[in-house]
């Protein structure tokens, strides 16, 4: 009995969806817009995250060791730093490597290279390049290295010189994230409200039918059910269409964005998270369509 | 079987029904006469539980309609068949589906639906229009579909609210004859109309309403205002 009723409710919703195709198409079109905005915001979020990560990745703190410090001591400090929760990575640059890098950087400057050769020994110091998980953590790392026990081996920590730019960057990345969150919330809410209102208008056209159903003795769930199915079908169709139209758009847009921001490949992100996208858009579509229908017909169900 | 005991209905200070006392026996054919605004439709709305009386009591088969819970209303509505002036068919369903819907909501099996719906549509003379949508049917045909739908639960009473209001003379009489035939088969009919000719030719009990009051109740009555 329950199976038959369920089948009838689904069939009824499907019939209404397919037979009133113009009305369905209009409603689905608005939902596509809403889902497209949501999907676009998700992809845009990936982009901002990459920009923020890129900015943060450019910041590091270098610790320079006195020239007479044993390599083993430097490596011991490195080991200690790696163990700190704030530290993401620590790269060791030996005196020789520093020299090679310096020579490479200034290979066109013969005067500088000659004067370097005049010197008896390598003037450059070994260093550790430290990257933190978060720009706000550099202060803590700098403080850690300023302890007395390191005084004998550490010549200088360049955090002080970079402190201003680092704190500005921390503020900037924080602002980008908060700004993006507010815009997302606003646009997402707008998309949801527009969809909800469209479904509400669609259901308004069915108000007479609903009263007919009540007159022939349909209970509220038998009336509600098909509209719920119809609403969910709007969501499913809109989700499928959105998923499909994102492909050609990304095909054209993604390479252009990659040109500007090499670490952002939206097409790759979309493809590698395809199932998550399907799940997200289906879930939002079904819930938006279904819940909007339920709320919209509630007023017509009051006897 | 239907009893109105001092029933009044007041909408925002406007009295639609005023102290109505009525008893309608099973298998009667009643014409409810009166001009527009006399209270005919309000009386029918009270019977199907769409409105609640402001005063008085209303019984159908000894059950006080006013006391039926919201969730049990669908069961009451399946006991009463309704036919309206504007047909009230589901516009996106065929004649067959409109009638079948009324059976589906009552939980009939597919086998019962396949058996009963064509039979009823044959009774109302529409067996060749099973798959037509309402917009493809004439007014008279739509009203026949509505009557077939009203009959599907084998109701003890059919309420017809101006069923001929949108029909020409020929179709109006077809519908009235159909209602008479259904009455002969044992169903109580309450026909609300302001069509003088139909009432005068029926020669049945006529209850005349005016300004919410029953002003005349006669066997073999006529439309007199």
B37 phi-psi bin (left φ>0, alpha ψ -120 to 50, beta other): left
Q: A208 to chain B: which residues are within 8 Å by CB?
A: 88
Give residue for tokens 């609640």.
B52
Interface contact flag, B104 A20, Cβ < 8 Å: no
Chain B residues touching A15 at Cβ < 8 A: 92-93
Q: What is the pLDDT of residues B89-104, one digit of tens each?
A: 999 899 999 999 989 8
Partner-chain residue, chosen from B82, B91, B106, that has the shortest CB–CB distance to A215? B82
**Facing B105 at nearest CB: one of A1, A208, A222:** A222
Q: How close A16 gets to chain B, by Cα (Å)?
A: 7
Read off the tokens for B91.
């516009």
Q: Choose the closest CB to A217 out of B70, B78, B109.
A: B78
Given a cut of 70, is residue B173 above it in pLDDT?
yes
Q: Which two tokens stand for residue B26?
A: 């099973």
Q: Which of A20, A211, A217 sits opposite B105 (nearest CB)?
A: A217
pLDDT at A150: 83
Interface of A with B in 15-74 (CB under 8 A): 15-16, 19-20
Give the distance, in angstroms, between the CA of residue A62 and the centroid of all CA atoms in the same chain.
30
pLDDT, mean over chain A: 86
Give dist(CA A219, CA B74) in Å, integer: 6
Is A29 or A160 the better-scoring residue by pLDDT? A29
Q: Say yes or no: A260 contacts chain B, CB-CB below 8 A.
A: no
Measured between alpha carbons, how far is B90 from B110 in angstroms, rounded to an integer? 20
Domain residues for the domain of B129 are: 28-49+70-218
Q: How far from each other are the two terminal CA atoms of chain B, in whole angstroms?
A: 28
Cβ neighbour number for residue B225 with a 10 Å cutoff: 12
Q: What is the CATH number for B152?
A: 3.40.50.300
Of the residues B50, B86, B88, B117, the best mutation for testing chain A's interface (the one with the most A CB atoms within 10 Å of its CB) is B88
User: Which residue of chain A has the CA closest to B50?
Assistant: A303
User: What average pLDDT does range A115-127 have in this prediction?
Assistant: 83
Task: Give me the pLDDT at residue A52, please.
Answer: 77
Cβ contacts (< 8 Å) between A20 and chain B: which residues? 92
pLDDT-based confidence at residue B175 (cuts at 50, 70, 90): very high
**Number of structural domains chain B divides into:** 1
What is the DSSP secondary structure assignment for residue A152, as one 8-state letter?
T
Q: How many CA atoms lie within 13 A of A188 on its CB side?
A: 17
Q: Is the pTM of this model over 0.80?
A: no
Is A219 at the interface with chain B, CB within 8 A?
yes
For residue B91, give the nearest of A1, A209, A303 by CB distance: A209
Whether the pLDDT of residue B143 is over 90: the answer is: yes
Instruction: Please tell me the predicted confidence (pLDDT) of residue A234.
Output: 93
Euclidean distance between CA atoms B201 and A169, whole angstroms: 94
Q: Which residues pair with B160 in a beta bridge?
A: B83, B191
Residue B6 and residue B134: Cα distance in Å, rounded?
Answer: 40
Distance CA(B88)–CA(A215), nearest Å, equals 9
A60-162 is a CATH 2.60.120.310 domain: no
Interface residue of B85, B86, B91, B145 to substitute, partner A, most A CBs within 10 Å: B91
Is the pLDDT reported for residue B181 higher than 70?
A: yes
d(CA A227, CA A230): 5
Range from A119-123, A266-270, B120-124, B216-220 carrying the lowest mean pLDDT: A119-123
Q: How confident is the model at residue A160 (pLDDT cuts 50, 70, 90)?
A: low
For residue A126, count other CB atoms closer than 10 A to its CB. 25
* Range from A110-124, B98-112, B114-128, B156-170 carrying the lowest mean pLDDT: A110-124
State which residue of chain B sits closest to A18, comparing Cα positions.
Answer: B92
CA–CA distance from B128 to each of A174, B94, B141 (Å)?
A: 72, 12, 11
How many angstroms separate the CA atoms of A266 and A257, rounded?
8
Pairing of strands B2-11, B14-24: antiparallel
* Bigger pLDDT: A114 vs B46: B46
B74 to A217: CB separation less than 8 angstroms, yes or no: yes
The string of pLDDT tens digits covering residues A221-268 is 888 899 899 999 999 999 999 999 999 999 999 999 888 878 788 899
Q: Is residue A111 over pLDDT 90? A: no
Q: How far apart are CA A218 and CA A213, in angstroms?
A: 6
Strands (E), chain A: 61-65, 87-93, 127-132, 154-157
In this structure, is residue B5 part of a structural domain? no
Predicted confidence (pLDDT) per residue in A30-60, tens digit: 999 989 988 988 888 888 888 777 777 777 8
Q: Please answer whether residues B23 and B214 qualify as being in contact, where contact means their C-beta atoms are separated by less than 8 angstroms.
A: no
Q: Where are the domains of chain A?
A: 2-55+171-301, 60-162
Q: Which residues of A touch B75 (CB under 8 A)?
A: 217
Q: Do A4 and B110 touch (CB under 8 A)?
A: yes
Partners of residue A11 in chain B, C-beta under 8 Å:
none
Q: Is this prediction's ipTM beyond 0.90? A: no
């Amino acid at each position: 009995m329950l199976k038959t009723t369920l089948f009838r409710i689904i069939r009824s919703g499907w019939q209404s969806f397919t037979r009133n195709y113009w009305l369905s198409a209009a409603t689905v079109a608005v939902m596509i817009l809403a889902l497209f905005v949501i999907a676009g915001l998700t992809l845009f979020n990936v982009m901002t995250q990459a920009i923020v990560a890129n900015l943060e990745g450019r910041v590091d703190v270098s610790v320079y060791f006195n020239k007479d410090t044993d390599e083993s001591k430097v490596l011991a400090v490195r080991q200690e730093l790696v163990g700190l929760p704030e530290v993401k990575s620590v790269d060791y640059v030996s005196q020789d490597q520093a020299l090679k890098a310096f020579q490479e950087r200034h290979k066109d400057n013969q005067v500088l290279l000659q004067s370097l050769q005049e010197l008896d020994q390598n003037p450059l110091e070994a260093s550790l390049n430290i990257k933190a998980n978060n720009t706000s953590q550099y202060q803590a790392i700098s403080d850690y290295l300023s302890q007395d026990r390191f005084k004998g081996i550490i010549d200088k920590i360049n955090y002080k010189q970079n402190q201003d730019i680092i704190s500005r960057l921390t503020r900037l990345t924080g602002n980008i994230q908060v700004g993006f969150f507010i815009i997302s919330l606003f646009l997402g809410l707008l998309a949801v409200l527009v969809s909800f209102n469209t479904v509400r208008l669609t259901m308004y056209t069915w108000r007479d039918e609903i009263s007919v159903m009540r007159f022939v003795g349909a209970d509220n769930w038998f009336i509600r059910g098909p509209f719920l199915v119809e609403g969910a079908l709007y969501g499913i169709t809109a989700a499928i269409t959105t998923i499909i139209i994102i492909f050609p758009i990304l095909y054209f847009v993604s390479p252009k964005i990659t040109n500007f921001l090499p670490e952002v490949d939206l097409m790759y992100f979309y493809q590698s998270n395809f199932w998550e996208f399907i799940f997200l858009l289906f879930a939002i579509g079904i819930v938006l369509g279904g819940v909007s229908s339920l709320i919209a017909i509630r007023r017509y169900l009051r006897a | 079987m239907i009893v109105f005991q001092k029933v009044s209905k007041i909408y925002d200070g406007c009295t639609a029904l005023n102290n109505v006392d009525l008893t309608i026996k099973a298998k009667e054919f009643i014409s409810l006469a009166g001009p527009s605004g006399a209270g005919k439709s309000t009386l029918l709305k009270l019977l199907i539980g769409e409105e609640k009386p402001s005063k008085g009591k209303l019984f159908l088969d000894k059950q006080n309609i006013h006391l039926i819970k919201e969730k049990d209303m669908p069961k009451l509505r399946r006991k009463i068949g309704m036919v309206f002036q504007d047909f009230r068919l589901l516009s996106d369903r065929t004649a067959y589906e409109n009638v079948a819907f009324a059976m589906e909501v009552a939980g009939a099996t597919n086998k019962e639906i396949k058996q009963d719906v064509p039979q009823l549509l044959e009774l109302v003379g529409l067996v060749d229009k099973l798959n037509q949508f309402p917009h493809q049917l004439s007014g008279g045909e739509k009203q026949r579909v509505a009557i077939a739908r009203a009959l599907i639960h084998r109701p003890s009473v059919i309420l017809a609210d101006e069923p001929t209001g949108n029909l020409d003379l020929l179709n109006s009489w077809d519908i009235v004859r159909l209602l008479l035939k259904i009455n002969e088969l044992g169903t109580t009919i309450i026909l609300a109309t302001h069509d003088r000719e139909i009432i005068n030719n029926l020669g049945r009990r006529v209850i005349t309403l005016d300004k919410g009051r029953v002003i005349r109740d006669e066997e073999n009555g006529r439309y007199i205002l």
